[in-house]
Structure 1
Amino acid sequence: MFADLLAARIDNLGTETAFLVLARARALEAQGREIIHLEIGEPDFDTPRNIIEAGIRALNAGYTHYTPAPGLPEVRAAIAEYATKQKGVPYTAEEVVITPGGKPIIFFTILALVNPGDEVIYPNPGFPIYESVINFVGGKAVTLPLREENDFRLDVGELAALITPKTKLLILNSPANPTGGVLTPEDVARIADLVRGRNIFVLSDEIYDRIVYDGVRPVSIAAQPGMKDWTIILDGFSKTYAMTGWRLGFGLMHRELAEAIAQLMVNSNSCTAAFTQKAGQEALTGPQDAAAAMVAEFKKRRDFIVDGLNSIPGITCKRPLGSFYVFPNIKGLGRSSQELVTFLMEKAGVAALSGAAFGKYGEGYLRLSYANSIENIEKALVKIAAVVKVL
């Protein structure tokens, strides 16, 4: 009814397909269908009990009011201390902005830095909100391919060829959604050498940096010489601590940028919920056993789903080093990614995402989340194997 009256900029916004597929899956479940959920990027574990109790204590203690826009001082300080250890970069509380989830850091960073016509280089396949927000503000989205033959890591030479005088921002995501790829320390050092001194900011999405396997330890580009002031790190609590519904993320950045991001908070959300922030403080400073156990279980599931997928004719799958996603190659099945996703949902009751939902270089792949039980993953693999036989 009102579509013609909406602001033109709304047409530039994309979406996150996972939520659309989830809605379709829920609709089928409401009809009595059994659906195995491999589409949504959410830990299937509950938030650890000590964090829940901290949130309850905060509510009972009166943490039900506004906080400063960038966050409670003691929580910002706890995040700075954590980040200093985890990232290997010294941070202070003034360099932390707490937000309701990680996405606002993407949105606010691009809003604060990118003028119409500025170029932003982003990974493809990659988290779709990157491109969506670049287009929304009138920036030019410049695709940086991530290819299977390079373990879904960017090619530094290819990156160099994409940089122009109009390049304002580079987006990195390691460990990556949707591929699970992880940049090597050598990759990160070479990227830093490439952008250093060019007045190019880096938005480093490190939301999965605690969910890694096989002895991998991600390296933040902020730790490279001369890069801290030019890097905005996105991190948060949703993945590591199974706190997706709490809506709690944070950004690490130069204090001048932090002031600008805080202004955007004032103009949008006012602040992040006080009791949620206190729960996050407990997450960082309390026991880490539950987080470690969750990652250990994810590793078992990763190995199980990768081995299972590789046993299905027409499908091959790399073993990812981070996140809780696999990105199997389904080109041997002779169907587009979306065709196969639709077929799996309707015929097999398996909810998956098309690789193309993460950009054109994702065509020929699926994204499957193994944030589900091995029992359900096994059922899904059996169903997938049965369905592809009749394609």
Structure 2
Amino acid sequence: MNHASEPLVRLASRVNAIEPFYVMELMKEAQALERAGRDVIHMSIGEPDFTAPEPVTRAAADALTRGVTQYTNALGITPLREAIARHYRDVFGLNIEPERIVVTAGASAALLLACMALVDHGDEVLMPDPCYPCNRHFVSAADGKPVLIPSGPAERFQLTAEQVEAYWGPATRGVLLASPSNPTGTSIEPAELRRIVDTVRTRGGFTIVDEIYQGLSYDAKPVSALSFGEDVVTVNSFSKYFNMTGWRLGWLVVPRSMIAAVEKLSQNLFICASALAQHAALACFEPATIAIYEARRLEFKRRRDYIVPALRSLGFGVPVVPDGAFYVYADTTTVRHPAAGDSDALTHSMLHDAGVVLVPGADFGFHAPERYIRLSYATAFSKLEEAVQRLGSLFSR
């Protein structure tokens, strides 16, 4: 077939505002090396190496046997919304009405629904640089304009209320935050988050907080942004703490005034989240299952407590110790390597010369991305130790 003669399809302009994941090119190189017989240690993907525990898979099998696999309400099944509400009561001491909880097809659907409901054409949304790249792309998909604010170690790679005040302009509509954050693993201090919420509220704006990694907090009891007012919108997920990445299940907590709008959008864009995943997720909140998750959380903490000093011993800077998630955002300028300070070239060297995959900073923003790499410690402890040995050999040459 001669594809050259086929007419070009005119794409919507919003496609140009959404950038590809640059790390995927690096992943293609890693896969090619593996096909050629190389052993590659993956420390790039933000996915727990743990999978759904047995009570969850058993609940899924039971739901399948019972045939509860048809469409659900667009807001989610009532028992799951009630279970999530009880979880907020038990973990955070918050009384969240189940009616305000919207079950979604992953946190990505939750973020898209929130942006579609709140962002108009040309609206500016403030977020930190660095941040998870899809966050800015969700704003762009809603025809808004993401405004990335340089946020370095002094700010814990997060926005501050002072920055929100300084960057708020006539077109600003709100803020989109993540605590703990991807790629940095850092949280916003509760007092600072309260100040941000108050600052946005006084300007009539919205606050969306991505809390998908909040269950993986290590140094202090987490505080949900929902503590600071019913007008705050939060996003959460069964992917990270609950180890259900491929099940594509998440949730939103919205103000009562948003419920009807989000329901209408969800009906039209998604119909509903997976019925099978929703029924399986009911088992996540059983005490025996929570005990499994807590043991896994402590294992992630053990990995963090190993990898941070190990990276420093290799010559990396870790200017802010991550307090959550499973990432370290490391400074490459001090390593003994010709590509020090060039994260793209350094990650290629680490892959080809040491068989270790990490992520360069280019995917996460525009403020000094060449300086930083993101490491995911969501892999077996033995793999972390082997990766450190390989990188030690590379940097000692």
With the length of structure 1 as denominator, give the TM-score of the two structures.
Answer: 0.93
Structure 2 residue 207 is matched with structure 1 residue 222: no
Quick check: 2:239–2:249 contact (8 Å CA) kept in 1?
Answer: yes
- Greater shift, 61-70 or 73-82, is seen at 73-82
| Counterpart secondary structure, 1:42 | coil
In the alignment, what sits opposite 1:311?
313
What is the aligned counterpart of 1:341 among 318, 336, 347?
347
In the alignment, what sits opposite 2:140?
135
In the alignment, what sits opposite 1:268?
269
For 1:47 and 1:267, how far apart are their aligned partners in 2? 30
Quick check: 1:337–1:364 contact (8 Å CA) kept in 2?
Answer: yes
Whichever residue aligns with residue 304 of structure 1, its letter is Y
- Greater shift, 137-146 or 3-12, is seen at 3-12
For 1:174 and 1:314, how far apart are their aligned partners in 2? 24
For 2:106 and 2:33, how far apart are their aligned partners in 1? 29
Distance 1:61 1:286, change over 3 A: farther
Unaligned runs of 5+ residues in structure 1 are none
Distance 1:20 1:290, change over 3 A: farther
For residues 1-391 of structure 1, the aligned pairs below 5 Å read 4-17=9-22, 19-214=24-219, 216-224=220-228, 227-229=229-231, 231-287=232-288, 288-313=290-315, 315-316=317-318, 318-333=320-335, 334-361=340-367, 362-390=369-397
Per the TM alignment, residue 129 of structure 1 is displaced from its structure 2 partner at its CA by 0.5
Quick check: 1:180–1:323 contact (8 Å CA) kept in 2?
Answer: yes
Quick check: 2:23–2:359 contact (8 Å CA) kept in 1?
Answer: yes
Whichever residue aligns with residue 93 of structure 1, its letter is P
Quick check: 1:105–1:234 contact (8 Å CA) kept in 2?
Answer: yes
Query: What are the superposed Cα offsets for residues 95-125 of structure 1, whole Å, 9 maximum, x if unpaired?
Result: 1111111111111111121111111001211
C-alpha RMSD of the superposition:
1.9
Whichever residue aligns with residue 299 of structure 2, its letter is E
Q: How many residues align?
A: 386
- Greater shift, 241-250 or 285-294, is seen at 285-294
- Greater shift, 252-261 or 45-54, is seen at 252-261
Unaligned runs of 5+ residues in structure 2 are none
Per the TM alignment, residue 355 of structure 1 is displaced from its structure 2 partner at its CA by 1.7
Per the TM alignment, residue 17 of structure 1 is displaced from its structure 2 partner at its CA by 4.5
For 1:3 and 1:81, how far apart are their aligned partners in 2? 52
For 2:88 and 2:183, how far apart are their aligned partners in 1? 24
Per the TM alignment, residue 39 of structure 1 is displaced from its structure 2 partner at its CA by 0.3
Q: Which consecutive aligned stretches of 4+ in structure 1 deviate over 3 angstroms post-superposition? A: 1-4, 15-24, 84-89, 314-318
Quick check: 1:88–1:223 contact (8 Å CA) kept in 2?
Answer: no
Query: What are the superposed Cα offsets for residues 289-329 of structure 1, whole Å, 9 maximum, x if unpaired?
Result: 11111111111111111111111135445421111111111
For 2:281 and 2:24, how far apart are their aligned partners in 1? 25
For 1:197 and 1:87, how far apart are their aligned partners in 2? 26
Per the TM alignment, residue 4 of structure 1 is displaced from its structure 2 partner at its CA by 4.9
Distance 1:340 1:29, change over 3 A: same
